[in-house]
Amino acid sequence: MACPPPRYNVPVLTFSLQSGSNGNCIYVEAAGVRLLFDAGISGRQAGLRMAAHDRNIRAVDAVILSHGHSDHTRCAGVYQRLFKLPVYATPATCHAITPFLERTGDIRLFLPGDALDFDGVTVHTLPTPHDAEQSVAFVVTCEGKRLGILTDLGHPFDRLARALSDLDAAYLESNYDPLMLAEGSYPPELKARIRGDGGHLSNDEAAALLQGCRRHRPQWVALAHLSEHNNDPDLALQTHRTALGRDYPLTIASRYRASEVLTL
């Protein structure tokens, strides 16, 4: 028997709880599945920010970690202990954050490139060249809809460009403005790390990636992981709109508060 064609009427709902070097966490809900990506903010703040959007953190099905840096993982053990949530991580990420995790908690391992299935919602893991071992980004698919969670990317790479071209919406890293970074107060070695192959995407690099998606324009893009000292939300938006046009559907994932609810 032939498989039925995919349906396109299942909504995917998402919002960022916080995005930046001070902590990262993104919520995605589709077909009754509720997922958190990263655990870099406190359990209290995560619970309050979810409740403000009428969502209960205790009803989340899984926490999925992108890599071992503390701004993405520091509260994973709290989410295990307080909310009894299973945590998905690569072996390298799990090893890096052992002090944060509850040893008796539910930890489920995956490898970069694996696809994780949650009752019809699939999370594809995309290996990235960010400077954390087994770092990944994510593409969440449900009933033909595709949402990217693409931060801590290192540098633009071919597989990233191909993935972005097929997405219906995305959180996309737009970490720094090159001039602000060059003229800022960071030490030279930190500046080199940020703009190096294992660091972060600049506003210009993120905009160029979106320019390359000529055959398929996303419904929206949330610019994410903006630097506090080397970027500015208005500047990030201006850079992208100069490259993409004033009507390009852009928003900002804030460093300080939950975003609005976004759908696709």
Under the banding of pLDDT at 50, 70 and 90, the label for residue 9 is confident
What are the residues whose beta carbons fall under 8 Å from the beta carbon of 4, sequence distance 6 or more? none
- pLDDT score at 8: 53
- Asked if residues 87 and 101 have their Cβ atoms less than 8 Å apart, the reply is yes
Q: Considering the entire predicted model, what is its pTM?
A: 0.95
Express each pLDDT in 222-253 by its tens digit: 999 999 999 999 999 999 999 999 999 999 99
- pLDDT score at 196: 97
State yes or no: pLDDT of 13 exceeds 60.
yes
- Count H helices, E strands: the chain? 9, 14
Quick one: 12-259 is in which CATH superfamily? Ribonuclease Z/Hydroxyacylglutathione hydrolase-like (3.60.15.10)
Q: H/E element holding 48?
A: helix 43-51
Express each pLDDT in 134-163 by its tens digit: 999 999 999 999 999 999 999 999 999 999
State yes or no: pLDDT of 133 exceeds 50.
yes
Domain limits of the chain?
12-259
State yes or no: pLDDT of 5 exceeds 60.
no
State yes or no: pLDDT of 4 exceeds 60.
no
Pairwise pLDDT comparison (105 vs 36), residue with the higher score: 36
* Three-state SS at 250: strand
Express each pLDDT in 109-124 by its tens digit: 999 999 999 999 999 9
What is the overall mean pLDDT for the chain?
Answer: 94
